[in-house]
């Protein structure tokens, strides 16, 4: 994860690699489900073989503890997918 400026607001950003578009989109949905559970929503850029996730807290215009929690959950979701489907990256 890198701390990246999104229009004057710090965010946590990481790129995840996949074998194809469908696997990338499946991960987007998995992270989307985590977001809905938590009531905290990231930016998810889905491309062929790649999803770039950014977490930040709109209300404070930057990073909150919760963003780090969500980043860790995102990593765990990725590890689980990798275990299910074999290593992708």
Site residues (vs a copy of itself, CB under 8 A): 21-22, 25, 28-29, 32, 35-36, 41-48
Query: Residue 45 or 81: which CB sits closer to a copy of itself?
Result: 45
Query: Residue 12 or 44: which CB sits closer to a copy of itself?
Result: 44
- Whole-number minimum distance, CB 83 to a copy of itself, in Å? 23
Rounded Cα distance, 40 and 57, in Å: 8
- Whole-number minimum distance, CB 27 to a copy of itself, in Å? 12
What separation in angstroms does the CA of 87 have from each of 10, 19, 43, 51, 78?
31, 9, 24, 16, 10
Contact 15, 46 (CB under 8 A): no
């Amino acid at each position: 994860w890198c701390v990246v400026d999104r229009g004057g607001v710090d965010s946590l950003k990481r790129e995840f690699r996949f074998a194809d578009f469908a696997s990338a989109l499946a991960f987007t949905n998995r992270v989307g489900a985590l977001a809905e559970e938590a009531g905290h929503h990231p930016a998810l850029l889905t491309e062929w073989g790649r999803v770039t996730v950014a977490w930040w807290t709109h209300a404070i215009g930057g990073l909150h503890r919760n963003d780090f929690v969500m980043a860790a959950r995102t990593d765990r979701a990725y590890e689980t997918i990798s275990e299910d489907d074999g290593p992708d990256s």
